[in-house]
Amino acid sequence: MIEHIKGSLLEAQRALDNFIANAEALRSVEAAAETLIRTYESKGRVYSCGNGGSMCDAMHFAEELTGRYRKNRSGLGAIAISDPSHMSCVANDFGYDYVFSRYIESHGREGDSLIAISTSGKSPTILNAAKAAREMGVSVIALTGKAGSPLESLADVCICAPGGSYADRVQELHIKVLHILIELVERRFFPENYERA
């Protein structure tokens, strides 16, 4: 069993090392942070969406912005599209593929941003959300696990984080990226939280 534990950790380490060594990936994280900062500078909101584990990441990202990340500070406007009543209504009336796009159509405003998370980059729900966002002037930041995906072509910024053969390694990289984005936003608006004592 120990060999499987070590093997899993080593695979995760290789995925992270590869991401760190990818200059384009690092620049895309920087560009995503700059997009979020511009959104907050213009009093916009950030939306996030994903399916399954990616929805959990979208929710985690939003609550760290509205609540607290490392230290106390004012809340930042962020909403994960995860309301069960909205999702069941839209799924019933229009089909599940539109649960996220319909929310963006209803709430998104020009100058807002959308974090669209799909490990495959092909999920219809996420593609529809990105299309709706672009039509409304909402910036799209995509997190994917495969280069050249359909989602990448719809994104203003695409952070591609290949993690291996399965989605779990991609999701592990995605949560690291999301935490970094929160930190960079905080460093811009709450630099006192990063001053050494």
Q: For residue 77, give the CATH number of its domain.
A: 3.40.50.10490
- Contacts of 6-9 spanning 24+ positions with Cβ under 8 A: none
Residue 108's domain spans which residues? 2-194
User: What SS3 class is residue 46?
Assistant: strand
82-102 pLDDT, tens digit per residue, is 999 999 999 999 999 999 999
Find the distance separating the first CA and the last CA of the chain, reported in whole Å: 43
Cα–Cα distance measured from residue 195 to residue 197, given in angstroms and rounded to the nearest whole number: 6
Contact between 144 and 192 under an 8 Å Cβ cutoff? The reply is no
Helix (H) or strand (E) holding 144: strand 139-144
Mean pLDDT across 133-137: 97
Average pLDDT over every residue of 155-174: 91
pLDDT for 197 equals: 52
* Average pLDDT along the chain: 96
* pLDDT tens digits along 6-49: 999 999 999 999 999 999 999 999 999 999 999 999 999 999 99
Which residues are part of a known binding site for substrate?
51-53, 64, 92-93, 118-120, 123, 171
**Please, which residues bridge with residue 139 across strands?**
113
Q: What is the number of domains present in the chain?
A: 1
| Residues tagged in the binding site annotation for Zn(2+) | 60, 64, 171, 179
Q: Binding site: which residues?
A: 51-53, 60, 64, 92-93, 118-120, 123, 171, 179
Q: What confidence tier does 196 reach under pLDDT thresholds 50, 70, 90?
A: confident
Task: State yes or no: pLDDT of 165 exceeds 80.
Answer: no
pLDDT digits (tens, 9 = 90+) for 101-115: 999 999 999 999 999
Q: What is the pTM of this model?
A: 0.95
What amino acid is encoded at 125 in this protein? T
